Amino acid sequence: MTDQREITLTVNGTERTIEVEPRRLLVHAIREDLDMTGTHIGCDTGNCGACTVLRDGEPIKSCMMFATQADGSEIMTVEGMEDLPAAGEDLHPLQEGFHKEHGLQCGYCTPGMLMSGKALLDENPDPDEAEIRDAISGNLCRCTGYQNIVSSIEYAAEKLDEQAAADGGVVAEDGDSDGFDCGVENCCGGPSAETPTPHVEGADPQFDDVTEGSESE
Amino acid sequence: MSSDSDFTTEPKEYQHDDDGGPQPEKHCGHGRGGMGEEVARKEDKRFITGRGNYVDDIKKPGMLHCEIVRSPHAHARVENIDGSRAMDLDGVVAVLTADDLLEHDLATMPTLMDDTQDVLVNEKVKFQSQEVAAVIAEDRYTAKDGAEKVKVDYEVLDPVVDAAEALEDDAPLIREELDDQEDNHIFDWDTGDKEATEEAFAEADVTVTEQMEYQRLHPAPIETCGAVADWDPGNDKMTVHMTSQAPHAHRTLFSQVSGIPEHKVRIVSPDVGGGFGNKVPIYPGYVVAAAASYVLERPVKWIEERSENIQTTGFARDYDMTGEIAATEDGVIQGVKVDVLANHGAYNAAAQPSKFPAGFFNIFTGSYDIEAAYGSLTGVFTNTAPGGVAYRCSFRVTEAVYLIERMVKVLADELGVDPAEIRRRNFIPSDAFPYESATGWNYDSGDYEKALDKALEMADYESYREEQKRRIEEDADKLLGIGISSFTEIVGAGPGKQCDIAGIEMFDSADLRVNPTGNAVLRVGVQTQGQGHETTFAQIVAEELGMDVDNIVVEHGDTDTEPYGLGTYGSRSTPVAGAAAAVAARKVRDKAKSIAANELEAAEEDIQWDRQSGEFHVAGAPDRSITITEIAAGAYMNHPGSEEPGLEATNYYDPPEMTYPFGSYIVVVEVDRETGEVDFEKFVAVDDCGNRINPMIIEGQIHGGLAQGIGTAMLEHVTYDDNGNVTGGDFMNYLLPTANEIPNFETGHTVTPSPHHPIGAKGVGESPTVGSPPAIVNAVVDAMSHAGVTHVEMPMTPDRVWESLNEAGLALDPSQNVSFDFEGGQSEGPADD
């Protein structure tokens, strides 16, 4: 009907090239063209956050963006969580937290919540309750009353912190990185880095403001 | 404690005896995940890894998409529908109108209250966004393009959206197609003893009256409604995957509407993203998708947008109520009266048992021993969406509880008696159960004072009262309000003698099959939308059979494999299907005894089952024991001649009575005298749902319901303008609470088992939604009651609260405290930058 555009997305680490109409929403491209149905649709107006994914590390509502606008970007969805280094052999600490702390009931908002939780912890590894509530305030949940979701994210923060400590080297002892691990390989103490190096601005745009943020705490 | 006895009447905390084995971390169901254990949910993994399977996730080869053309007018005659421009689009396969459906006798569908609703508008639109035509296309986007190209000519008529105005003589007639319908009046209903109640009022020391509106709400699950219908012409079979809270009832209704025999209809309710009563009725979209699949012989998907969900599917509440209480000067209630005007929308499509046009609203005597009660109600058609569904509620109990709990506060303020104390003076005493209420309900068990005392203690009630007084004396900027609600719910619909849906009695069912290797599958007639049945029902079986919870799988939602049941709503799953699961497990246990006798070479009457160890043994010889796993093998590999092979049982459970969970909620709020904003200081919820299956899941349900109660009290309202336009019909205007509006809750419990339920459980999911709105309103009113405020309407938006403050002379003049800096706008104190 209308012209198709070729776009390339790196979804959960795998490069995918698809043809889409310019008006096609990113969420439909993810769900229907890439068959990753973990990301949901709940409101069409950007209010509910069920469609939240990470685009270049930033949480976005994928029903509010055309797929073509995301051309060339890195997209992370719930399906990618188990492949993250922090997940080890099993579940990512955030997923584990939602399970252990009963942070979900019907499960429909859960993938979006996980993405918002991930974006928060990437930026602020030790958030307080108000910061967590604020970070998920763009994600509506009709089942849980949010209290257990907050606990789930707190659980994950703690677990990630323990992992970082156990990894050694990640909790940097020099003043430069201020104990911060951006998670990017071979940057400031990411899990795979053998020698922690200072964080490089621009290594991954999602971490640009992080060092500043962690200093203000 | 080795016995066969079933716990029915004795409260249990399910403490694990120290048997030297591994102790569960938190609680105990004998270490096997039975009753009372906080078993982490078995269903979680698929949801946290993105592997859930909701209706919109289903993709079938050749699948078409359905988009519905909706009326922009609330009241209009359809003069012509021209779908030709839509058909010209590449990829549009069909445009359906009422005429097409008439050919297949599918133009109308029955509502649950025996009304008839157009599937696609036949002659006249009766509410905004009503379904007028449907476009079927190869993909979602083309279907939408097609819908935009369908040209409908309307003759616009005057609408009426207000229930009181709809009853006026000159109101437009909405349902002229109905025989003998000359106005917009649907029905009158009353309950109780009018004469005795009038007498109580005539003799009372004091009477109080308050008018209050329970506004129109929408359950608004985060997943909207949708379906994938797939007609298989090779087998003459219709399969519909749909967002259904009641798959079997929907199968029967689908069969009745379509004429396809019921054994050729399969309804599958896959993962459902929240229901809350929204997914109990049948909606036109489901029928259109099925009709289109039948005609086109291809699968057809229909998925609602959010605005379609809120604007057209079952709303809840919309009761305009006037309550009256008659009491002695000591605050002993002698009579209660209520009159209701109920807005049912354009069709009578309330979702409740058919003998109850006002649902269980006649539970409005609440937790109190009131001798005389009378209620009357008038149902009205308006040009608004049809509904009246039980939004996380047992059929209008929410409205009833709001009424009585608000009125008790009004009475307390009139008499100057503490709201906790006035409740105490009127509670049904704990030794009065079973108790028959003035409106004929038979309460099973309760200890209301115990729950209230616990809540008062948890809330540190007295010190908040002191703080409240201090703030009033000091003329503080922020007032403190303390609200109480001591509610009684009525759930577990229901006994076949009273309750039916479209004629089908409201029993439920469970089918338990133990496999040769000792694990089991439990199939139930209810369906989960997040309640955690796959875990809690497995726990019931684990408890009753001594199996490990990990060895039990619970299946639900597929009418081809599950036994017939009436579905999940009205907190009925545990009271009805939970009972069926327990009874089925006990039947298996009975058969297991005969197999155990065979295996242990003992007489069957000598075989005992030990709940603690979960093993069967010979009386007096605990060493001669056998596990259910070994018995399962015996059932298939060495069955006794006296029994059939196999190890399974089915139970259809018709509950003898409803169950009556209860609780006391205490809410402390701060009311800002400048802005009318309300902040939650403390939120205590003490619930009693009888014996508890999984405390973690119960607590999760309480949290969720309380959040919905806050949404009700503070934010949510489906609003209309005078032209019938929905002005609160999407998530930009219908406000669900976010994590920022919801406080942390402090939960507690008491345990008063239901004497007639096989495991003494009562159901809990709805208690918080039912019980919390009056507690919240009572708290806000309480902050201003010293200045004469008796009521604030929900949702208690800051402007409404400020109006009340202002009328009571409590509002502070904002100009006193606010300075304006014209660069950065309004700010308090020094500017930020």
Q: Taking 60 as the threshold, does the pLDDT of residue B286 lie above it?
A: yes
User: Where along chain B do its domains lie?
Assistant: 62-157+223-273+279-312, 316-492+658-807, 508-653
Report how far Cα A137 is from the mean position of its chain's Cα atoms.
15
The answer, yes or no, to whether the previous bond of B795 is cis (omega within 30 of 0) is yes
Q: Taking 60 as the threshold, does the pLDDT of residue A192 lie above it?
A: no
Instruction: With H, G, I as helix, E, B as strand and everything else as coil, classify residue B128.
Output: coil
What's chain A's average pLDDT? 84
Alpha carbon distance, N-terminus to C-terminus of chain A: 53
- Distance to chain B for A199, nearest Cα, Å: 30
| Res B557: pLDDT | 97
- Helix B767-784, helix B695-714: angle, nearest 10: 50
Q: What percent of chain A has pLDDT over 90?
A: 74
In this structure, are residues B16 and B24 in contact, taking their beta carbons and an 8 Å threshold?
Answer: yes
CATH class of B316-492+658-807: alpha beta
**A106/B306 CB distance under 8 A:** no
Residues A75 and A88 in one domain: no
pLDDT tens digits for B133-172? 999 999 999 999 999 999 999 999 999 999 999 999 999 9
Q: Which of residues 85-124 of A touch B (CB under 8 A)?
A: 91, 95, 98-100, 102, 104-111, 114
The CB density around residue B828, as the number of other CB atoms within 10 Å, is: 10
Does the annotation count B393 as an active-site position? Answer: yes
| Res B640: pLDDT | 87
Residues A163 and A175 in one domain: no
| Res A194: pLDDT | 41
**CA B833 vs CA A94, B818, B825: distances in Å:** 37, 17, 12
What is the fold, at CATH topology level, of the domain defined by B508-653?
Answer: Aldehyde Oxidoreductase; domain 4 (3.30.365)
Number of domains in chain A: 3
**A142/B731 CB distance under 8 A:** no
Q: Which of A82, A108, A146 lies closest to B222 in CB terms?
A: A108
- Helix B695-714, helix A147-167: angle, nearest 10: 120
Chain B partners within 8 Å of A39 (Cβ): 50
A47 touches chain B (CB under 8 A): yes
Q: Taking 60 as the threshold, does the pLDDT of residue B600 lie above it?
A: yes
**Among all residues of chain B, which has the CA nearest to that of A151?**
B744
Confidence of residue B14 (pLDDT cuts 50, 70, 90): very low
Q: Which of A41, A105, A110 is the mutation pick for testing B, counting most B CBs within 10 A?
A: A105
**CA B295 vs CA B61, B106, B253: distances in Å:** 17, 12, 19
| DSSP strand pairing (B552-555 vs B662-672) | unpaired
Cα(B559)–Cα(B248) distance, rounded to whole angstroms?
A: 6
In this structure, are residues B358 and B377 in contact, taking their beta carbons and an 8 Å threshold?
Answer: yes
| Res B823: pLDDT | 52
Region of poorest pLDDT, from B29-38, B233-242, B648-657, B783-792: B29-38
Chain A partners within 8 Å of B687 (Cβ): none
Q: Which of residues 170-199 of B touch A (CB under 8 A)?
A: none
pLDDT tens digits for A29-60? 999 999 999 999 999 999 999 999 999 999 99
Average pLDDT over residues B761-784: 97
| Res B826: pLDDT | 47
**B222/A36 CB distance under 8 A:** no
Chain A partners within 8 Å of B733 (Cβ): none
A11 touches chain B (CB under 8 A): no
Region of poorest pLDDT, from A203-212, B295-304, B811-820: A203-212
Q: Taking 50 as the threshold, does the pLDDT of residue B45 lie above it?
A: yes
**A110/B48 CB distance under 8 A:** yes
Could you report the predicted ipTM of this complex, rounded to two decimals?
Answer: 0.94
- The residue annotated as part of the active site, out of B37, B308, B716, B766, is B766
Q: Which tops the pLDDT comparison, B627 or A211?
A: B627
Q: What percent of chain B has pLDDT over 90?
A: 91
- The residue annotated as part of the active site, out of B28, B66, B225, B393, is B393
- Distance to chain A for B272, nearest Cα, Å: 7
Does the annotation count B608 as an active-site position? Answer: no
Q: Which domain holds residue A98?
A: 84-167
A141 touches chain B (CB under 8 A): yes
Given the structure tokens 């080297």, which residue do they identify? A169
The answer, yes or no, to whether the previous bond of B494 is cis (omega within 30 of 0) is yes
**CA A156 vs CA A87, A96, A117, A159: distances in Å:** 11, 7, 9, 5
Domain B316-492+658-807 matches domain B508-653 at the CATH topology level: yes
Q: Taking 50 as the threshold, does the pLDDT of residue B184 lie above it?
A: yes
Confidence of residue B352 (pLDDT cuts 50, 70, 90): confident
pLDDT tens digits for A63-98? 999 999 999 999 999 999 999 999 988 999 999 999
Q: Which tops the pLDDT comparison, B113 or A141?
A: A141
pTM of the model: 0.92
Residues A41 and A99 in one domain: no
Confidence of residue A191 (pLDDT cuts 50, 70, 90): very low
Q: Which of A32, A41, A43 is the mutation pick for testing B, counting most B CBs within 10 A?
A: A43
Residues A26 and A44 in one domain: yes
| Res B274: pLDDT | 97
Cα(B34)–Cα(B179) distance, rounded to whole angstroms?
A: 56
Q: Taking 60 as the threshold, does the pLDDT of residue B821 lie above it?
A: no
Burial B87-98 (b: 16+ CB within 10 A, else e): eebeebbbbbbb
Chain A partners within 8 Å of B703 (Cβ): 144-148
Round the CA-based radius of gyration of chain B to a whole number and report it: 28
Tokens of B74: 């609330």
- CA-closest candidate to residue B616, choices B160, B3, B198, B1: B3
3-state helix, strand, coil in chain B (%, to 5): 30, 25, 45
| Res B535: pLDDT | 97
| Res B815: pLDDT | 66
Confidence of residue B324 (pLDDT cuts 50, 70, 90): very high
pLDDT tens digits for B353-364? 888 999 999 999
Cα(B763)–Cα(B794) distance, rounded to whole angstroms?
A: 27
State the CATH architecture for B62-157+223-273+279-312: Alpha-Beta Complex (3.90)
Residues A21 and A50 in one domain: yes
Cα(B554)–Cα(B534) distance, rounded to whole angstroms?
A: 5
Alpha carbon distance, N-terminus to C-terminus of chain B: 71
What's chain B's average pLDDT? 93
Residues 6+ apart with CB under 8 A from A195: A169
Q: Taking 80 as the threshold, does the pLDDT of residue A183 lie above it?
A: no
Type of residue at B682: K
